[in-house]
Structure 1
Amino acid sequence: MCDVVLPKRTLLIGGGILAVIVVYSSSQAPPGSTETGQTDTTCRVEVTADVLNVRVAPDGGAEVVGKFRLGAESDAGKTVQNGFRQLGDARWASSEFLRPMAGRDCG
């Protein structure tokens, strides 16, 4: 039996290449597509305000339960009440500052 000794640098480079191959080959489908290659039509929005408050109810006076910064993305529902779009259970944000993303069905 023959013992092979590899320099540390060769092992590190080989390991890095192997890690990139594993990550690349196990990556999921690109965003906006499904396993079958169809476009995902779930409503998704992008924030257009510098800071956007997320409120517990569709009311400008309702308790703030979170904030989004400019350019943030979020899944959203199709429900809009009093100028607020529902983002989830007890999570509403002003629809004026939410832009539906291309190819998404936001009603």
Structure 2
Amino acid sequence: MSKKTLLILGALVLVVIVYAMNTGKQASGASATGCKVTVTADVLNARESADGNAKIVGKYLRDAQFDAMPGVQNGFRKVADDKWVAAAFTQPVAGSAC
């Protein structure tokens, strides 16, 4: 085989390996923050701050799972920049570090 063929073949193998590794991480349910929660309410409002009167910036439906920050502030859990949910309506996923 020529060097060009070997390089192309090596690049393809590398792409397959990286793809397989990334797929495995997504399937494992690993959380970037170490905290993953499930929504227990029928509809859970996401607010722009840790205040029940703050502007609603999104909604989650029952059984939705998403990453969150460990810890609770004023009864709310931070899930993203300017996005908070009422902690009373979430349940940490088993094995999660919330």
When the two structures are superposed, what TM-score results if normalisation uses the length of structure 2? 0.70
| Aligned-residue identity in percent | 45
Q: Deviations over 1:43-81 (max 9, x none)?
A: 000000000000000000000000000000110001311
Rounded Cα–Cα distance in structure 2 between residues aligned with 1:32 and 1:91:
21
Match of 1:52 among 44, 47, 53: 44
Q: Which one has a larger percent helix, Structure 1 or Structure 2?
A: 2
Q: Deviations over 1:9-48 (max 9, x none)?
A: xxxxxxxxxxxxx9xx947213145xxxxxx871000000
- Aligned to 2:23, the other structure's residue is in SS state coil
Task: Kindly provide the amino acid, as one letter, of the partner of residue 94 in structure 1.
Answer: A
Is 1:31 aligned with 2:23?
no
When the two structures are superposed, what TM-score results if normalisation uses the length of structure 1? 0.65
Measured at CA, do residues 80 and 61 of structure 1 come closer, stay the same or move farther in structure 2, by a change above 3 Å? Answer: same
Q: Deviations over 1:67-105 (max 9, x none)?
A: 000000110001311100010111100000010001110
Number of residue pairs the alignment of both structures matches: 78
Match of 1:43 in 2: 35
Rounded Cα–Cα distance in structure 2 between residues aligned with 1:41 and 1:64:
23
Alignment of 1:1-107 (within 5 A): 26=20, 28-29=23-24, 30-32=27-29, 42-106=34-98
Task: Kindly provide the amino acid, as one letter, of the partner of residue 83 in structure 2.
Answer: R
Q: With CA pairs under 8 Å and 6+ residues apart, which has the higher RCO, 1 or 2?
A: 2
- Aligned to 1:28, the other structure's residue is in SS state helix
Gaps in structure 1 of 5+ consecutive residues: 1-21, 34-39
